[in-house]
């Protein structure tokens, strides 16, 4: 099982495939990923090129209404392929080298084609995010559970000889 950083890297790789397909960035990403997956084997590189070409062709042909479900499916497919390769590497040093090479490849993508992905109710932001609240309202990127607005019930003072009276309590 990969750690969170490598899983996030794999997710970024899957997102990059679907974001770059059909754009000017596709050719460079396609060739770079094939080399990365091939790891020196022309046969593996050719197999990955074939899969990338299938992905690119399907994404180019899809009707706009079906585009997002197909992109989402291919993001997951390519994320899984990247994760599988990283998990199958023999040792941590080899895994670190492969991760570094993938990060460099993804960093070369034009910013316009970079895509951020989040899963399972998370929030992913590819730029600035500001969440504000004013006037007694609530603002949040993700809320899990209940939110209650309004003034809290006043605290009931505990009685006892060593507890001071609240400042607004009537003196008697």
Alpha helices, DSSP H only, in 26-167? 26-38, 42-61, 64-88, 92-107
Measured in Å, how far apart are the chain's first and last C-alpha atoms?
68
CB 142 within 8 A of CB 54: no
Ramachandran class of 150: left when φ > 0, alpha when ψ lies in -120 to 50, beta otherwise = left
**pTM for this model (two decimals):** 0.65
3-class state of residue 18 by DSSP: helix
Residues found in the chain: 172
- The predicted-structure confidence for 40-83, as pLDDT tens digits, reads as follows 999 999 999 999 999 999 999 998 888 899 999 999 999 999 99
Angle (nearest 5°) at CA 103 between 98 and 106: 125
Taking each helix axis from N to C end, the angle separating 26-38 and 92-107, rounded to the nearest 10 degrees, works out to 170
pLDDT score of 170 more than 90 = no
Taking alpha carbons only, the member of 73, 79, 75 closest to residue 9 is 79
pLDDT score for 153: 72
CB atoms within 10 A of CB 56: 21
Taking each helix axis from N to C end, the angle separating 64-88 and 4-20, rounded to the nearest 10 degrees, works out to 140
- The predicted-structure confidence for 86-139, as pLDDT tens digits, reads as follows 999 988 999 999 999 999 999 998 764 445 555 555 666 655 667 777 777 777
pLDDT score for 43: 97
Question: How far apart, in whole angstroms, are the C-alpha atoms of residue 126 and residue 58?
Answer: 26
- The predicted-structure confidence for 30-40, as pLDDT tens digits, reads as follows 999 999 999 99
pLDDT score of 159 more than 50 = yes
């Amino acid at each position: 099982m990969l750690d969170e950083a490598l899983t996030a890297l794999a997710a970024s790789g899957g997102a990059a495939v679907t974001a770059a397909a059909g754009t000017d960035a596709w050719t460079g990403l396609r060739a770079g990923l094939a080399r990365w997956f091939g790891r020196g084997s022309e046969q593996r590189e050719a197999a990955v090129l074939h899969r990338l070409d299938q992905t690119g062709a399907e994404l180019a042909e899809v009707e706009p209404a079906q585009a997002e479900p197909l992109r989402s499916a291919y993001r997951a497919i390519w994320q899984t392929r990247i994760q599988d390769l990283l998990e199958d590497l023999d040792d941590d040093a080899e895994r670190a080298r492969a991760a570094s090479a993938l990060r460099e490849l993804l960093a070369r993508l034009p910013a316009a084609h970079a895509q951020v992905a989040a899963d399972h109710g998370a929030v992913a932001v590819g730029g600035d995010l500001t969440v504000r609240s004013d006037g007694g309202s609530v603002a949040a990127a993700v809320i899990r559970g209940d939110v209650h607005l309004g003034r809290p019930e006043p605290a009931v003072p505990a009685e006892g000889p060593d507890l001071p009276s609240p400042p607004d309590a009537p003196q008697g």
